[in-house]
Amino acid sequence: MKKYSKPKIGPVSQKVLLILLAGAALGLTHSPTQYFRIVKEAEKEWARINRRALHNAIRKLYRAKMVDSKDNKNGSTTIFLTQNGKKKALTYKLDEISIPEMKKWDGNWRVVLFDIPEKHKKGRNALSQLLKQMGFYRFQKSVFVHPFECKNEVDFVVEFFALRSYVRFILAHHIDNELHLKHHFGL
């Protein structure tokens, strides 16, 4: 039996995957603010890619079965992510995920709580780690709090690890020890 090594994906290939993922995200978003944020970020990354490096990266991604193409009736070609490419792009996106700070805090607390079974321990640990990485305050072992809008980011992480049925998102107007939380977040 022949063993295949995973293809190494360079920085240009990573950017191509993320840009293609941004295109998929545009089709799924209903928020104009989110739409323009995605377009702006994708445009920045696109401008940084060298054309020759782009051509080579797309060829490598095609060989690695992370992208595929379809010829259109008008003579153009559409390049799209395969399932494998989507998984890889989401992994790279997780490394960069963050919560944008609001210009003015709206006075609401975003609470993420979960009860994830032991059989999903890896996903549970990864979720906890990512919530900390995104700046959440660990209120209890499986309860995290953040003052800024973060539902999209939390949904992205929860969907990535397929933990939807174990995770809840609450918008709270008051927490009894919020002075401590305000101090923690510098509010």
State pLDDT tens for residues 13-38: 666 666 666 665 655 556 666 666 66
Instruction: Return the CATH class of domain 109-185.
Output: alpha beta
Domain at 11-96: CATH code: 1.10.10.10
Looking at the whole model, is its pTM more than 0.75? no
Cα–Cα dist 127/160, whole Å: 10
Partners of residue 23 on adjacent β-strands = none
CA dihedral 143, 147, 149, 151 (to 10 degrees): 0
Instruction: Give percent of the chain with pLDDT exceeding 90.
Output: 17
Domain segments of the chain as ranges: 11-96, 109-185
Predicted confidence (pLDDT) at residue 159 exceeds the cutoff of 60: yes
Which residues in the chain belong to E strands, given as ranges? 67-71, 77-81, 109-114, 137-140, 143-146, 167-172
Categorize the per-residue pLDDT at 145 as very low, low, confident or very high, splitting at 50, 70 and 90: very high
Cα–Cα dist 82/7, whole Å: 15
